[in-house]
A and B are shown apart, each in its own frame.
Chain A
């Protein structure tokens, strides 16, 4: 993790969870799972220990809990992907150039995805996977491409979370993931309306198994194995 990431996550720790997860619905849900007060849970988040990991040690069904952790880690990769996507669009100036209402849409979605990363990392603690490297192949630089991809990504997240909700051994995680699923569904509906599609095109959202979501993500080639260079003397884009 670079120092830049550390600074960023410090900023998020102090602000995003409190400001964006205003009602602390997710935190409250997760804190309840482990019989802690919300305040104790937030303290643990702040010191970076994993609530889920702590719970694993205490539960006899470590295998089931381990599987829960794997599911959450896949969600975390997806939230990394989404938050990086919106942040990248901010950094290359695409979001700033959009009409005001659309700009607000993109910024709010980005803020929520950053909050989701923070929340999942807090739950997973040192079991959390590291952030992969992303290469968006210029998609974030074109408003049309960015918008189309955002719609697809939000719809895909809905399908992913709907498919995972029944799979948690710890049912309280299902409830907690529901509270994220509805937010991703709001994002998807909002994105679709922004892009000129009908916000709700199915009576019941389909669920996608992890393998199917993996294939879609792989087809985008957004997740890069490694950055091509470790350091650049001169930035490729000077904005």
Chain B
């Protein structure tokens, strides 16, 4: 038998017992993503369809039909990249817009104000990176309206967190559909969205990393939610 001193010290206790100590690691955390799914009327099993099928979910609005793989096969291609990157670019425009709205409102103070400045600048860089990757194929900048979201710091923080969680889940959902070049373009972006989400959660007193593997969201669900919040002027 081969064991080291420290393994011996842990002997008799499971890894879980060692890690948990007096803490309940299962502490429920009502994620915004959960709320979104409930509002969208999706069952848990719908949500858990998984990332591979994510882009091909049924009952897509017409605008997203392009993201659905034809005849069940989801071959990545430059043309498909352009569609997907434009979908992600829209999310970046909305995020950049919301942080700008929050900063201009003047209601944010302390660390939340700092976060809005830092994250806003980073979303601007994401917009620039995706525009660069898309070149002439980049979609036009949408008209945005955020109403009075920025007038209340708590409301702003909730709205920002929902967008960050949605964006991270949307990127994961498209991971299987992009070409290697496009994946390299977005890999360092999705992680920054997750960092923003963790920071916002921490500020709100919520668990910054509520699960060991993050979920994907289909383009359909993301688009439906965007419509619902009404930030993009149609």
What is the interface of chain A, defined by CB distance below 8 A to chain B?
A: 2-5, 7-8, 11-12, 15-16, 19-29, 31-33, 38, 86-88, 90-92, 95-96, 103-104, 107-112, 114-116, 119, 133, 158, 161-163, 165-167, 171-172, 174-190, 193, 198-200, 202-207, 227, 230-232, 235-237, 239
Contact = CB atoms under 8 A, between A and B. Distances in A.
A202 B118 CA distance: 9
Given A200-B199, A207-B187, A171 B15 contact: no
Interface string B9-35: 111001111111101011000000000
Contacts of A22: 26, 211-212
Contacts of A232: 4-5, 8
B195 A107 contact: no
A23 B211 contact: yes
Contacts, number: 279
Interface of B: 1-11, 14-21, 23, 25-26, 47-54, 76, 118-119, 121-122, 125-126, 129, 168, 171-178, 180-181, 183-184, 187-199, 202, 207-209, 211-216
Given A21-B212, A29-B50, A181 B190 contact: yes
A199 B174 CA distance: 25
A27 to B, nearest CB: 8
When A and B form their complex, which 10 residue pairs have the shortest distance between CB atoms, in order from nearest?
A11-B14, A175-B175, A203-B125, A26-B213, A182-B194, A185-B191, A175-B51, A189-B195, A186-B198, A186-B209
11 contacts: A2-B3, A2-B7, A16-B16, A23-B211, A114-B15, A162-B188, A179-B213, A181-B190, A203-B125, A232-B8, A237-B9
A171 B198 contact: no
Give the secondary structure class of B's interface. Answer: helix
Contacts of A190: 198, 202, 208-209
Contacts of A179: 51, 172, 213-216
B56 to A, nearest CB: 11
A151 to B, nearest CB: 12
A159 to B, nearest CB: 9
Contacts of B198: 185-187, 189-190, 199
B3 A4 contact: yes
B16 A12 contact: yes
A184 B211 CA distance: 11
B20 A107 contact: yes
Given A178-B190, A203-B122, A235-B5, A32 B213 contact: no
Nearest to A199: B199
B209 A166 contact: no
Contacts of B10: 4, 87, 90-91
A198 B202 CA distance: 13
Contact of A186 (B2, B4, B49, B208): B208
Contacts of B48: 23-25, 28, 38
Most buried by B among A4, A12, A26, A204: A204
B2 A116 contact: no
Contacts of B168: 182
Given A4-B11, A87-B18, A112 B209 contact: yes
A200 B196 contact: yes
Given A107-B21, A237-B5, 15 more contacts: A7-B14, A15-B14, A16-B16, A25-B211, A87-B10, A103-B23, A108-B207, A108-B209, A114-B15, A182-B214, A186-B214, A189-B194, A203-B125, A231-B1, A232-B4
